[in-house]
Structures are given as C-alpha cells and as structure tokens.
Structure 1
C-alpha cells in the first residue's frame, strides 16, 4: 500500500470525492515536489496525473489513506523511479550494443537520469520554493504570454481547460493546444527547475501576476461547478502573492495585487449563507468581514503607492476594493470615486469586463438610466456575448427601471449561460421575484 498508510473503510462515492478534494488542494504542491525530485517539469505533471488516475481506482475500492497527499506523492515517486530504471536499462543496452560493435567501452559512474535519494518524499522546507519555481518555469520567456498563463493556471492553479477557456473567452481546444505546445517547448529548451535570480524574476513578473490574479478570481467566483466560492484556490493565490511580495519588495504591482486579494478575500465570510447559497454585496452582514484581512490589504495598498510611481492595474482595483471595505453600507459607499477609478482602470487595461463594472458603479452613483446605454454598447460590441454577466447586469438595470418583461428575458438568458450551479440558483430566484 502506497506510503504505508492503512486506509479507512471502503466507500466508493466518498473515495472519489476525497480524490477530487485532495487534488484541488494539493495538486500544485505534488507537481512541484515531483518536479524537484525528477528535475523534469513535463515528466512531473505526467507522474502526478498517473497518481491521480491510480487514486481514482484505489481509494473508492480500498478506502481513503490517512495521508492522501503523501499517498499520491509516493505513487508518483515510485513511478518516477520505474521510469529512471527503464531509462537506465535502455542506456545499458545501448552501451552493450556499442561494445559489441566496437564503438565504445563500458559506461562508468551512475547512469543518466539515476533517481535521487528515494527516502525523500516531502520536504516542508522546500514547498514554498518549489511552488514559486513551478510558477516561474511555467512563465518562462520561451513561451508565449498566452501559453504561460494557460499552463500555470492548469498546473499551479488546478483549473480545468474548460475553466481556463471561460476565463479567456476562447474555445477549450485552443487552451488545450496552448498547454500541450508549452510543455513540449519547455522540454525542448531544457528549462531547469529553480527559482530564477531576482533580475530574471522581474522579467517574468507580468505573467506571474496575471496567473495569481486569475487563480484568485476563479477561487472567489467559480466559473462552473457546484460551489460559488473555492476558498482553497483563493487562499493559495493570496499565500503565493505574499511570498512574491517578499521576493521582490520594491515592485509596486506585487503589493497592489496583494492588496486587491486581501481586501476581496475579506468579504468571503459574508458571501455565503448557512446553506452555501450566494449572498450579494447589498445583503451581506459587514460585521462578518475579516477586519484583519482588510488591515493587511490597506497596508499593502499604501506600500504599493510608496514604492511605485502611481498605482498600476492591480493597485487601482485594490483602491476600488478599499472603497467597499471601508463603507458602512452599500448606500454609504463612495460610488462616484469608484466610477472614476473604473475610468482610470479602463485607460490602463481596457476590457469589456471593466466597462461592465463601470456601468454597475455608474448605476449606483447616478441611477440605472445613466448606466443602461453603456451596457447596450457592450451588447452591440459582442465582446461578452458568451458570458452570463452581461444579461444579468442588463436585466437588473431594466428591473430597476420598471421594465419587467424585458428584465425577465435578460435574466432567462443569464440563467442559460451561467455555468455555476449556485449562481444559476441565485438568478432563478431573481427570475421568480420578477414573476
């Protein structure tokens, strides 16, 4: 039995659930630890996937092991050793053939690819460095920016190809092709498994920050599945961003991103009711917000302004999150300032999502009639045609304007487009209220 663990009582359904849960939480650490063990990023992910496949068979049959992550790592390590042995045996056969042909002598020393110390399974002292190394490898400059982000989200963030595709509004097949090409490119370039020097870190910082932002975004509002929030994913993004802020303390946007994540995560305790259903901002009990996270976020925002020449994209978003964090209620929120901040964000990083958020803020500051033309322009442009967000916002504006039939049609469209079960339930409740 892998890892020497005695399993619990067999439970096929519970075993499969445990595999999914452990993989979501531990996949990045498993891949990064196997990458350090093997020195081969692509091989490490293949080994981790093989461990996952074996767990899907073994755990429902035999029960969940006491140390699930250790079990997966042990299986991956053993398969790595088998791979090294096969490679060593093949090298020996080649050497024997060469001797037979008179083209070489016996090989000396250890064979290429010999396994490292097999007693080492999981070294806690290396976990943070391993994850950062994995992140910077996936964001290596030999890859295109699209490939960097897709690969890191897949391996480090544990997102599926479908989830990444929805984040980028591209077909799933496109994401899969990017990830496959990225792995082949890294293998061909023989990229070492290590955290690069500080000057190299800076060159790769943009994609790394993008990845951390997207991992957190998926954690704070899941694009699909049964849960609205994936706190494990969001917490991992916050933790890695804190490490990154220590690694490059004079980079303003690192602190800006950390501020944004802390201030956003502070609202998590109030975003779900006791049944796990979403609670919208206007209905949240602000007394449940994490005040320590708000203090950390505001401090990081101050630091972003101190070390930079003005706030960047993440810093501006953090300033918007701060407006919400310090407001006693929705009505007392400084919506005019939020509108101005979204206008600044739109100049720094124009996108239809930013414009949609600006429209929402404008509706709160000046009323739904002022915001509806902006949303109609987005509909005409077609940039968010596959997203449920646009009809959801448009339906809400129409409802506030008293156009109930039009609002109902928009919300119905949003229900059809929404892939998250909890959010779909929220939209259905809005639809019922309109009826």
Structure 2
C-alpha cells in the first residue's frame, strides 16, 4: 500500500472519532463537521511533508477545535455565548500532551456518534445516509451513489437529518436504558445495510467496496465490546465475518463475479471463518433466537461445506423457514426459495418465488429476476431463463453483476443451439 493510500485510510478511520470528540465538547452537528473537514484537509496537506504526529487523533481534534472556535468567534452576538463556552472547553493546547496526561481527543466517541445518527426522529433511509456520511466518512457524492440518486438530492437529505436531530433536542450522549433497545435495533440495521452495500455494491464498476465492509465490521466490533452478552450483536458481527471471509474468491482476475458454488474455497479466510463460527455458536447457545443469529447460522453452514455439493441445504431451508416467520421480508423469501429448490426441486422454488410477484418492495428488483432465471435454468427451461437473466442485467446498475448475468444468458444461447449430448 502506498503512503498516500495509508494516509487516506488513517484519515478515514479518524474522521468519525474526531467528529465525535467535537460533538461531545461543543454540539452543533454541521459546525463540527465543517471544522473536522478543515482539519482533515490540513492533515492531508501537512502530514506528507512533516510526518504523521505521535497522536494523530489528538492533533486533528486540536486543529478542528481551533477552527470551530475561530468560526464561532466570527459569528453574530447570538453565537457569542457558544463561542465563550467553546473557548473555555477547548483552549489552545499543545499538540503534544504533557507526560502522564491523556492526549486530547484520545477517547473514541464514534459509538456515541453512531447512536446519534440512528436517532428515532430520523427515517431509516436518513439514518443510513447520515451514518455513511458522518461515521463511515463517505463523501456526500459517495452516499448519493449508494442510494442511486443525484448528489444534489442527497445533500439536502443529509442536511435535513442533521437539522431534525437538532430540533429533537438530542444531546451527544449514549441513550439511557429506556431508549437503548429501540435505538440498538436501528444501529444494527444501519450497520447491516452498510456492510451489504460494501459487500455487493449497488452500482459502479466494482463488486466490492472494502472501505464500507471494513468500517461496518469495525463499528460492529465496537458495539459488541460494549454489549458482549447481546446475542444479536454477536450474531451480526459473526454474519459479517463469515460473509467477508469469502471476499477474495468472489471475483476473477478481471473483476468478474464468481458465484458461491463456483468459488475456490481454499481462498476463503479461515481466521475469519473460525472467529465468526465461534461467535454464532456461543450466541445461539446463550441468547434468545433472533434474525441475525439465523442469518449467521446459515452463513456458517455455507462456509463449513468443503465443496458446494456438500452444502447442508436441508438445514438451510429449515433456518430460512424460521427466519421468514419471525422476521418476514422479501429477501429472506427469495433466499428461502433457493434452498427449497435445492432440496425439493426447482419448480417448488419457482412456486415460492411467485408469491413475491406482487410485493412492491422486490417485484422489480433485479435479484428476483436473477433467482428466477437460475431456477428456470435448473428446471431446463433455458428460453425463459435466458429472458430473465437479461431482464435482471438491465435492472442492476452494478457492472460486474451486469456482465455475469449477460454471460449466463449467452451461455444458455450456446446450450440451446447445441445438440443434446445424450442424443447427438
């Protein structure tokens, strides 16, 4: 990794921590975020020439605090009280702490920032957008791409989310016991969505966005350290690790998508598999069953099989059946249909898929067409399969998925035109 790439990764990791520190001291989401961006720009300019300081987070917090104070001091009288408070709480400090003194900003407030971004005053879409912007460190343009919308549309959404948090009177502190459960559900859902967007990017030239999966895993580890006995938190971390373990085998040298059944399993990350498997085994033994535990258990069954043909589809079908009962959603039904097809035949899977045709959440989603094409191919209906592969390819904005789906359709063209080896 080049020095520039390493510096970029470091600044991306530190950005939410610095923002959390400023919010903890001063409040004011937009003002703090502007100050952090100025500090990051200063670091990107100075550190390559002067070297990374001994305490980079403290350096950024100090510089950002000074920038914030400068902005506050320059505002009108209505902001003078905040300026005075900011000056008292964040005096000009040496960038190097005194011996035995904790460096300013060394306390990581990222988790508190994550809970703030998942405030119940926000819609789920706004929670995800704000978390991607403030915690994961994506630019507004990158968040917009993740949502498949123009940057000009996303920027006001993020701004409104910040204003809504401010209007709700939210303070920068972890929620109390009464708020914890509901907010935790939102936090886990946001982390799940961020990981999924990273693992299979919804648009663009790359299948995988490692900065998103890495950040989702890092944040989920933080939540797990705070709540080590919560089975669903452990299960979500397990699910991410077991899924990410397959990442290296998912694409070929040219970036082409390789489906699970065709992957070189020797390239899977055994350390992640071991850690994820231990987490889910412990969670299921000690905690009430939840949807993340079921998904992690399914992921564990997939990575446990030494060959695709050794996959325990019967148990996977059972687990998906339970998941669709306790947490029904169209994606769970979609995956359940595959497991049904693998155990009871492709037509049984197609019959289950048909129940999704009138569900507006997925009726036009490319994955419904792709799974239907796969099951039709298994059933020998190559004409219908080819049509649905091409429909799926037209409905996805991911270039690797488009190439894969069109290749599948082209392969069926060849199969249809070739004589049957059993009769030819």
2:199 paired residue among 197, 203, 220: 220
Which has the larger displacement, 198-207 or 226-235?
198-207
Q: Distance in 2 between matches of 1:180 and 1:253?
A: 31
1:111 paired residue among 80, 84, 87: 84
Counterpart in 2 of 1:259?
Answer: 238
Q: What is the deviation of 1:207?
A: 0.7
Matched, 1:210 2:189: yes
Counterpart in 2 of 1:86?
Answer: 74
> Relative to structure 1, is the Cα distance of residues 326 and 85 closer, same or farther in structure 2, using a 3 angstrom cutoff?
same
Aligned residues: 397
Matched, 1:326 2:304: yes
**1:145, 1:207 within 8 Å by CA — same for their partners in 2?**
yes
> Relative to structure 1, is the Cα distance of residues 34 and 121 closer, same or farther in structure 2, using a 3 angstrom cutoff?
farther
**1:35, 1:43 within 8 Å by CA — same for their partners in 2?**
no
**3-state DSSP of counterpart to 2:86:** coil
1:359 paired residue among 333, 337, 353: 337
| Residues 149-228 of structure 1 aligned to structure 2 (within 5 Å) | 149-158=128-137, 160-163=142-145, 165=147, 179-196=158-175, 200-228=179-207
| Residues 300-311 of structure 1 aligned to structure 2 (within 5 Å) | 300-309=279-288, 311=289
**3-state DSSP of counterpart to 2:74:** helix
Q: Distance in 1 between matches of 2:171 and 2:334?
A: 42
> Relative to structure 1, is the Cα distance of residues 173 and 205 closer, same or farther in structure 2, using a 3 angstrom cutoff?
farther
> Relative to structure 1, is the Cα distance of residues 20 and 388 closer, same or farther in structure 2, using a 3 angstrom cutoff?
farther
Counterpart in 2 of 1:337?
Answer: 315
Counterpart in 1 of 2:23?
Answer: 35
1:305-334, Cα deviation, whole Å (9 max, x unpaired):
23322x201000011001101111111101
> Relative to structure 1, is the Cα distance of residues 255 and 337 closer, same or farther in structure 2, using a 3 angstrom cutoff?
same
**3-state DSSP of counterpart to 1:385:** coil
Q: Distance in 2 between matches of 1:388 and 1:74?
A: 48
1:238 paired residue among 217, 233, 240: 217
Q: What is the deviation of 1:338?
A: 0.7
Q: Distance in 1 between matches of 2:156 and 2:408?
A: 39
Q: What is the deviation of 1:148?
A: 3.3
> Relative to structure 1, is the Cα distance of residues 126 and 428 closer, same or farther in structure 2, using a 3 angstrom cutoff?
farther
Counterpart in 2 of 1:379?
Answer: 357
Q: Distance in 2 between matches of 1:94 and 1:26?
A: 28
Which has the larger displacement, 419-428 or 31-40?
31-40
Note the residue ranges of structure 1 that are not aligned, 5 or more in a row: 1-7, 9-14, 96-106
Q: What is the deviation of 1:111?
A: 2.1
**1:32, 1:131 within 8 Å by CA — same for their partners in 2?**
yes
Matched, 1:398 2:376: yes
**1:146, 1:178 within 8 Å by CA — same for their partners in 2?**
no
**2:320, 2:336 within 8 Å by CA — same for their partners in 1?**
yes
**3-state DSSP of counterpart to 1:134:** helix
> Relative to structure 1, is the Cα distance of residues 217 and 393 closer, same or farther in structure 2, using a 3 angstrom cutoff?
same
> Relative to structure 1, is the Cα distance of residues 30 and 129 closer, same or farther in structure 2, using a 3 angstrom cutoff?
closer
**1:136, 1:204 within 8 Å by CA — same for their partners in 2?**
yes
TM-score normalised according to structure 1 size: 0.77
1:109-145, Cα deviation, whole Å (9 max, x unpaired):
9724337244477998956732101101112344455
Q: Distance in 2 between matches of 1:42 and 1:348?
A: 39
**1:238, 1:258 within 8 Å by CA — same for their partners in 2?**
yes
> Relative to structure 1, is the Cα distance of residues 120 and 306 closer, same or farther in structure 2, using a 3 angstrom cutoff?
farther
Matched, 1:132 2:111: yes
| Residues 12-27 of structure 1 aligned to structure 2 (within 5 Å) | 27=15
Note the residue ranges of structure 2 that are not aligned, 5 or more in a row: 97-101, 414-424
**1:133, 1:193 within 8 Å by CA — same for their partners in 2?**
yes
Counterpart in 2 of 1:4?
Answer: none
Q: Distance in 1 between matches of 2:403 and 2:61?
A: 38
Which has the larger displacement, 342-351 or 149-158?
149-158
Counterpart in 2 of 1:415?
Answer: 393
**2:249, 2:268 within 8 Å by CA — same for their partners in 1?**
yes
TM-score normalised according to structure 2 size: 0.79
> Relative to structure 1, is the Cα distance of residues 266 and 18 closer, same or farther in structure 2, using a 3 angstrom cutoff?
closer
> Relative to structure 1, is the Cα distance of residues 264 and 149 closer, same or farther in structure 2, using a 3 angstrom cutoff?
same
Q: Distance in 2 between matches of 1:288 and 1:156?
A: 31
Counterpart in 2 of 1:370?
Answer: 348
1:175-218, Cα deviation, whole Å (9 max, x unpaired):
76654433112223443333445665444211111111111111
Q: What is the deviation of 1:415?
A: 1.4
**2:16, 2:135 within 8 Å by CA — same for their partners in 1?**
yes
Q: Distance in 1 between matches of 2:213 and 2:269?
A: 15
